[in-house]
Structure 1
Amino acid sequence: MFILSLTYVKPNDEADRHMEPHMAWVKEGYAKGWFLASGRKVPRTGGVILAIGDRTAIEAYVAADPFALHGVAEYEITELAVTTAVEGLEILKR
């Protein structure tokens, strides 16, 4: 599993200008079966995506995020080897 933590490096109004294409990118990540959960950080300094899949493919996909392409946000990708999960979240162990 991967934790994709994005941090805005430009003001929120700049993020807002790119939000629609970014959200289309997020929806495509779900359609590919890579994204499991996502949302904004509180306070609004970026966001977090929980993902599964091949690291190389995930890294390439992150580089294609409109936020990354336009320099709005920077990503930190953390790989987590899940060993224990509540019933129903076994998919995290992949």
Structure 2
Amino acid sequence: MILVLLTYKVDIAQIDALRPAHVDWLKQGVADGRLLVAGRKLPVTGGFFMARGTLEEVQTWAAGDPFATAGAAEYDFVEVAPSILAPGLEALGQ
């Protein structure tokens, strides 16, 4: 599993303009079984998501994010292996 941290590189107005396409991309990731969770950093300086796949697979997939294609965000990828999970989150350990 890969944890991805996004940091915005452009003005929030540009992010807001790209957000609908970004959200559609995220929803497709859920439908495809790739994306597990996504959200914003607080304060809103970027976001995060957790995705299934190898590091290379997730990097390739993330390159299609509208934030990435527009050069609006920087991505940091961290491979993780969850080992302790709260009840109801068992799918994160798969």
Q: Which runs of 5+ in 1 are unaligned?
A: none
Q: Quick one: percent identity of the two aligned structures?
A: 38
What is the alpha-carbon distance in structure 1 between the residues aligned to residue 5 and residue 72 of structure 2? 13
Q: RMSD in angstroms over aligned alpha carbons?
A: 1.2
**What is the match of residue 45 of structure 1?**
45
**Residue 35 of structure 1 pairs with residue 35 of structure 2:** yes
Q: In structure 2, what is the equivalent of residue 3 of structure 1?
A: 3
Q: Is 1:63 aligned to 2:56, yes or no?
A: no
User: Partners in 1 of 2:18 and 2:52 — Cα distance?
Assistant: 25
Post-superposition shift, 1:3? 1.0
Tell me, in whole angstroms, the C-alpha distance in 2 between the residues paired with 1:2 and 1:78: 6
Matched, 1:78 2:85: no
In structure 2, the residue matched to 1:22 is 22
For structure 2, which runs of at least 5 residues remain unmatched after alignment? none
